[in-house]
Amino acid sequence: MPKIVLFSDIYLPTFPYLEMPMYNETKSRGIDIVYVLQDGDIRLTDSDLAKTFSNLNLKTIKKASQINSIINKDDLLLMRFAYKGFGGDVMAAARRAKRKILAYDPSGIDIRVRACPAQYLTAKSNSLKIATIKKFGKKQYNSIYVTGTIHCDAAVATKVDRDDFMRSYGLDPQKKLAILTPANPGEAWMKGLVSDYKKIVSIVKTKCSDYEIVIKCHPMDYLAKYKMQPGIVHKNQHYNGKHSWEAIDPTLTVIKAEEGYMAFKACDVILNIRSSIAMETAFFRKPLVNINRNKYVTNWPFDAGIMKDITMEELEGVLNKGDYSIDDDLCTKYCIRENFSDDGKAYVRTIDVAVDIL
């Protein structure tokens, strides 16, 4: 009987069990599934993570080509979109062996600017599917399915008691909570970006006394503390190998990696410049304020109905006057347009596609 082979090449501490809903959904349908990791992956060497991953129907590979000893000709390889690194090598090896591959869109917009060896692809929105076809033509992939992104599924399930959350970080629940969201650390080379982050923190700390400010980092930012091993990717070279907050303000309160979505549920406003977190905030029905966005190239769809663009000079007044708001209906429309749905079921639709391909 054909099976699904789920390979995971990157560990994200913000979503430590990202693929588990897909794995469990497949099992619940009575379909065989194998979870594959690279030898020495952190999810096997870390004792806490290993409690979960070592109990799966698990296999490991040392070389990319070894994936073909696990996938039979009628099976399906399911993995995140990848065009380089070990993940890209695994996908390329499977394609050379004429195995069926479904690459799921994790959250970004890479699929519209890069191509991968998979025959089948998921996109988080119809507009992203159209952009991908426009870039690469209709022959690059057999099919592109619109499913939403599994990265945002947890936004629906996440619950939080705001006051308890604030107190757990030593913050005053009587104050408003502002979250700074630095971009992918690999983009910190952009002229003026780190300086603007520092200015934001300084303004909130010194001129907006009704606010607490914390930092919620990009998933790759948290990886700087891990030693290099399979599953770990380091992109903090522009911070000299350190975390973003160590360059921006070492005294900042840093949200724990696994509590990022809790922070979004608890906050009053999100302060952003470059980060594609802008595409996710609508899931939380929270106001997003973009600062100096005109200075930087952004890769996500702007919507004046749920986002506010301001200059650095306007930040103090906007915060102190509470000059931001959110419209639930417009957030829902944005989620449907840019992420297909806000129902938290992208993992189900992804497995629906996988089963159809099988």
Q: What are the residue ranges spanned by the domains of the chain?
A: 4-148+340-357, 156-338
Fold identical between 4-148+340-357 and 156-338?
Answer: yes
> Contact at 8 Å (CB) between 179 and 214?
yes
Amino acid 1: pLDDT: 85
> Contact at 8 Å (CB) between 276 and 300?
yes
> Contact at 8 Å (CB) between 81 and 110?
yes
Output the CA–CA distances (angstroms, integers) from residue 241 to 14, 227, 252, 273, 357, in the order listed.
19, 11, 18, 22, 42
Query: What's the CATH number of domain 4-148+340-357, 3.40.50.300, 3.40.630.30, 3.40.50.2000, 3.40.50.970?
Result: 3.40.50.2000
Rounded Cα distance, 325 and 40, in Å: 47
3-state secondary structure the chain: CCCEEEECCCCCCCCCCCCHHHHHHHHHCCCCEEEEEECCCHHHHCHHHHHHHCCCCEEEECCHHHHHHCCCCCCEEEEECCCCHHHHHHHHHHHHCCCEEEEECCCCCHHHCCCCCCCEEEECCHHHHHHHHHHHCCCCCCEEEECCCHHHHHHHHCCCCHHHHHHHCCCCCCCEEEEECCCCHHHCCCCCHHHHHHHHHHHHHHHCCCEEEEECCCHHHHHHHCCCCCCCCCCHHHHCCCCHHHHHCCCCEECCHHHHHHHHHHCCEEEECCCHHHHCHHHHCCCEEEECHHHCCCCCCCCCCCEEEECHHHHHHHHHHCCCCCCHHHHHHHHHHHHCCCCCCHHHHHHHHHHHHC
Neighbour order of strands in the sheet with 269-272: 253-254, 211-215, 176-180, 269-272, 288-291, 307-310
Rounded Cα distance, 41 and 265, in Å: 31
Amino acid 109: pLDDT: 75
pLDDT per residue as tens digits for the range 58-83: 999 999 999 999 999 999 999 999 99
Residue 304 tokens read as 């004046």
Amino acid 76: pLDDT: 98
Rounded Cα distance, 129 and 226, in Å: 35
pLDDT per residue as tens digits for the range 38-51: 999 999 999 999 99
Model confidence, pTM: 0.93
Residue 87 tokens read as 């993940």
User: What are 180's strand-pairing partners?
Assistant: 215, 271
- If we measure between CA atoms, which residue out of 264, 77, 32, 55 comes closest to residue 162? 264
Query: Residue 55: is it exposed, middle or buried by C-beta count within 10 angstroms (0-12/13-18/19+)?
Result: exposed
Compute the radius of gyration of the chain from its Cα atoms: 21
Amino acid 277: pLDDT: 87
CATH number, domain 156-338:
3.40.50.2000
CB atoms within 10 A of CB 323: 13
Consecutive 10-residue runs of the chain (358 residues): their mean pLDDT? 96 94 98 98 97 97 97 97 95 97 84 94 93 95 96 92 98 98 86 94 98 94 92 89 93 96 97 90 95 87 92 98 94 92 96 97
